[in-house]
Amino acid sequence: MIRDKKFSITVRVAEEDYREFTEVADKLGVSKSELLRILIKYFNTRFGFIGKTGYVLNDLYTKLIKAGLNKEKAIYWVIDTLYEYGYSLRNVITELLEFFESDETKLLLIDMDWLKDREGIWFHFVPTKFSNYLFDDMTFQIQKNWDGYAVFSKYFIGEDYRGKIDEIITRLKEAINKLTDEGWIEDVEDELMECADHAEVSLDIDYDKDLSSADLHLSFYVSEWECMPTVNEINNMFRKVLKMANILK
């Protein structure tokens, strides 16, 4: 029997299942009631335990039931499949972040999808509190023909800058113009083309008409996605722009 006073839960399980549950809790270094809360919260938020039966209701589960599996085996199949998919995807994301000289503690994947007509795949990352990145948002896509696109954005919200967005915009425009005149963007493109056959870099700002917010975008295109700059290199580029705009000391 497993009791959790906080949620007033009592779960009766077979002796063999109880032993296995205890072993799992011991391996994780948590109490049985803590493990129970974790499982309830996880399954409720991740798999949507809904319906009168309280089981996972999704397409795979329904298909497995129709194929003749009992509910216990069907649920196990669903969980195992989601685990394997998630594990495989995690390996892909981990290697992708390592390629950019970053990791999962610094960049969090919040979305991914196919491009139109399956011409490539698109990833959306945001920095975590454990990173020191100066940008707020990163999107990256790999094309079927091996091209790569990336956009790194920094957001300026009026309430965070005490209503001085107009001043921020002016400074950023001046910094962008100065960097353009100095040939900095062309220099970055030339460096990228030491690896790629073709590369394009753009630095621009857009803002609301009421000057309530502004967005700074640093965008890259390379004909071979492996030639994309690392996250640290891009962070240093943001540092250069923000220092020139006298926003970063």
Read off φ and ψ for residue 104, nearest 5 degrees. -70, -20
Q: Which residue has the tokens 């032993």?
A: 19
Assess whether 67 and 87 both reside in one domain.
yes
| pLDDT band for position 53 (cuts 50, 70, 90) | very low
Assess whether 239 and 120 both reside in one domain.
yes
83 pLDDT higher than 80: no
Assess whether 141 and 38 both reside in one domain.
no
Specify the 3-state DSSP secondary structure of 145: coil
How many domains does the structure of the chain reveal? 3
Task: Tell me what the pLDDT averaged over the chain comes to.
Answer: 85
Assess whether 165 and 185 both reside in one domain.
yes
What tokens appear for 82 in the block? 């989601």
Neighbouring residues of 239: CB distance < 8 A, sequence distance ≥ 6: 134, 248
Is 168 inside a domain boundary? yes
Compute the distance between CA of residue 151 and CA of residue 201 in angstroms, rounded to an integer. 10
Query: Which of 13-17, 19-23, 78-82, 175-179 is the least confident region?
Result: 78-82
Any idea what DSSP says for residue 196?
A: S
Query: Which of 152, 143, 99, 146 has the alpha carbon at shortest distance from 122?
Result: 143
User: Is the pLDDT higher at 7 or at 128?
Assistant: 128
Read off φ and ψ for residue 126, nearest 5 degrees. -130, 145
| pLDDT band for position 221 (cuts 50, 70, 90) | very high
Q: What is the mean pLDDT of residues 48-72?
A: 67
Q: Which residue has the tokens 């790194």?
A: 152
Q: What is the pLDDT, as a whole number, of residue 51?
A: 42
| pLDDT band for position 243 (cuts 50, 70, 90) | very high
Assess whether 29 and 112 both reside in one domain.
no
Q: What is the tens place of the pLDDT at every residue in 194-212?
A: 999 999 999 999 988 887 8
Q: Report the Cα 6 to chain-centroid distance in Å.
A: 33
Provide DSSP, 1-16: -EEETTTTEEE---HH
pTM: 0.74
Q: What is the pLDDT, as a whole number, of residue 56?
A: 47
Assess whether 218 and 115 both reside in one domain.
yes
Q: What is the tens place of the pLDDT at every residue in 148-191?
A: 999 999 999 866 666 688 889 999 999 999 999 999 999 999 99
C-alpha angle with apex 233: 206 to 123, nearest 5 degrees?
A: 65
Assess whether 128 and 146 both reside in one domain.
yes
Task: Report the side by side order of strands in the sheet with 199-207.
Answer: 107-114, 120-127, 137-143, 148-157, 213-222, 199-207
